[in-house]
Amino acid sequence: MADWWDADGRRHRKQFSTAAAAREHEHRETAMAHAMRATREMKKVARTSGTKRSSPKTESGTIEAAKGKLGVMIPGMGAVATTFVAGVEAIRKGLAKPIGSLTQMGTIRLGKRTDARSPKVKEFVPLAGLDDLVFTGWDIFEDNMYEAASNAGVLDYRLLEQLKPFLSSIKPRAAVFDHNYVKKIDGPNVKKGKNKMDLAQQLRDDIRDFKKTSGASRLITMWCGSTESYIEPTEAHQSVKAFEKALKENDEMIAPSMIYAYASLMEGVPFANGAPNLTVDLPVMLELSRKNEAPICGKDFKTGQTLMKTVLAPAFKARLLGLSGWYSTNILGNRDGEVLDDPGSFKTKEESKLGVLEHILQPSLYPELYGNMYHKVRINYYPPRGDNKEGWDNIDIFGWLGYPMQIKVDFLCRDSILAAPIVLDLVLFLDLAKRCSELKGLGIQEWLSFYFKSPMTVPGLYPEHDLFIQLMKLKNTLRHLKGEELITHLGLEYYD
Ligand SMILES: NC(=O)c1ccc[n+]([C@@H]2O[C@H](COP(=O)([O-])OP(=O)(O)OC[C@H]3O[C@@H](n4cnc5c(N)ncnc54)[C@H](O)[C@@H]3O)[C@@H](O)[C@H]2O)c1
């Protein structure tokens, strides 16, 4: 037997069908009462023991307000891009929720644990609203966003039908493309030009045209194009001067994605790279980004298997568990899978996926635990699966006295469903960086590492891969920008 109160505050005796149900209810009530008392006591301690509610310091630098429309330009209108744009429109229409998006659903704790201040991220920093987003894109195929989304087969057709007029209105601009860099696909909607510099100029014209016709006050470029063949940096990538000369000479080390990056940065437009291509991870792009105050970040969205890897590997290291081998395989049947079936594109992806364990586990610091680990990544194109990938991991670990153990992870995920909220957050955070006096001239936005498999850093710095360190870095950056205390999780002051 337990009590309940009606909407008018009247007390009633509650009847339970079994004694067990009544006991369970009572336990829950007691637990809630304890929790409420603990909170009251913590607040009292904070008031009486001098643990003050942290007051905001002066903000570091200034952040311009997010006034007007934000234009999102997407090279590559495939599965990820269409799932993102259709999702934004569905959310705007109240048909769905922005699940997976830190900017839309996440909160940020401020001050002491006793302060009970945890605003939503989007209320804490001035981000563009979803209603202010306008879109354009480039693709080698002529399909509009509705047709491309239907072909990608990620979203249910009933949802797509409701978004049809909006999605059909977004038609791809002609792409800068060269089959030699993405061997598995070819298409008709491609620009022609006398050299790569001419193509860059045509992209710059597109950017200006979109800004004018959409009425956007600010722009962002978000690479959602296919993974290009593996390229290593050469002399041509070392400075703006060398790169411009190479553009005019049609240097084959300049891939199409680099031409988009150059055009955007020349227009002062921030650029995010969702694929593992070098694209903006080059000295020339860093130079341009800094000079034109157009922030850059990349590379390769951290969605399924690598997300799991960067959660599990830090746990092994934290507990000093050894790793003898990690075998990761993927079965996927979308166009991305087809592109990655080519050895050149696969090599680019493989490099991006392999780096993670080395950096997290640091074999040079822990040779007995990680000195002999065997790490293998495979990607298998298997059309029946479409976008619904299977990422399968076999992990061989060892513990106390060297005894071996195994972990199996089988992640039946939806690639683009995991990628779309990342695209949204990157768009909004990069736009924030561009409006922020302290960030806009930095070039690489390392605080956005949270979203990438292969986070970009300045030369000489190793990337941070641990998902929770990345999240702390991101949130501390936001706190720092707003003059709030950074959270170190030290917590000794609660016990003074
Ligand atoms: N979905 C994920 O979970 C995920 C995770 C990490 C990285 N990525 C990367 O994101 C990118 C997009 O993935 P997707 O599943 O949407 O692939 P997709 O094949 O469905 O779409 C890519 C699109 O890019 C177009 N394209 C290729 N080169 C182009 C160019 N030079 N200019 C304009 N368009 C071009 C293609 O025609 C295609 O429509 C890929 O590089 C993929 O590796 C995806």
3-state helix/strand/coil string of 129-142: CHHHEEEEEEECCC
pLDDT the model gives residue 459 = 85
Q: Where are the beta strands (DSSP E) in 319-473?
A: 322-332, 374-381, 390-398, 404-412
Helix (H, G, I), strand (E, B) or coil at 343: helix
Terminus-to-terminus CA distance in the chain, angstroms?
42
Q: Which helix (H) or strand (E) holds 320?
A: none
pLDDT the model gives residue 441 = 94
Q: Locate the ligand 1 atom nearest the alpha carbon of residue 152 and give its number.
A: 20
What global pTM score does this model have? Answer: 0.87
Q: Is the minimum distance from the CB of 418 to ligand 1 under 6 angstroms? A: yes
Bridge partners (DSSP) listed for residue 322: 398
- Distance between CA atoms of 173 and 206, rounded to whole angstroms? 8
- What is the mean pLDDT, run by run of 10 residues, along the chain of 496 residues? 40 43 43 44 42 44 93 97 98 97 97 92 97 98 97 95 98 95 91 97 98 97 94 93 96 96 98 95 96 96 92 96 95 81 79 81 94 90 86 96 97 94 98 96 96 92 91 96 90 82
Choose among 220, 240, 210, 203: nearest CA to 297: 220
Q: Is the minimum distance from the CB of 335 to ligand 1 under 6 angstroms? A: yes
Q: How far is the CA of 87 from the centre of ligand 1 (A)?
A: 17
Tokens (6 digits) for 319: 């507990």
Choose among 303, 294, 458: nearest CA to 447: 458
pLDDT the model gives residue 339 = 84
Tokens (6 digits) for 190: 């491609």
- Distance between CA atoms of 218 and 64, rounded to whole angstroms? 12
- Distance between CA atoms of 33 and 2, rounded to whole angstroms? 14
Q: Is the minimum distance from the CB of 301 to ligand 1 under 6 angstroms? A: yes
Tokens (6 digits) for 77: 């209108």
Helix (H, G, I), strand (E, B) or coil at 160: helix
Question: Is the separation of the CB atoms in 223 and 263 below 8 Å?
Answer: no
pLDDT the model gives residue 236 = 94
Q: Which helix (H) or strand (E) holds 241?
A: helix 240-248
- Distance between CA atoms of 351 and 348, rounded to whole angstroms? 5
DSSP class of residue 68 equals S
pLDDT the model gives residue 261 = 98
Give, for ligand 1, the residue of 74, 143, 183, 336 to mutate: max count of ligand atoms closer than 8 Å to Cβ: 336
- Distance between CA atoms of 80 and 199, rounded to whole angstroms? 25
- For 29, residues 6+ apart whose C-beta sits below 8 A from its C-beta are 2
pLDDT the model gives residue 53 = 39
DSSP class of residue 100 equals T
Query: Taking CA 254 as the corner, what is the angle to CA 380 and CA 347, rounded to the nearest 5 degrees?
Result: 20
- Distance between CA atoms of 370 and 362, rounded to whole angstroms? 7
Q: Is the minimum distance from the CB of 175 to ligand 1 under 6 angstroms? A: yes
Contacts 24+ apart (CB under 8 A), 92-97: 92/130, 92/131, 93/162, 93/163, 95/159, 95/162, 96/159
- For 358, residues 6+ apart whose C-beta sits below 8 A from its C-beta are none
Q: How far is the CA of 83 from the centre of ligand 1 (A)?
A: 12
- Distance between CA atoms of 96 and 76, rounded to whole angstroms? 24
- For 123, residues 6+ apart whose C-beta sits below 8 A from its C-beta are none
- Look at ligand 1, atom 25, and give the residue with the nearest C-alpha: 76
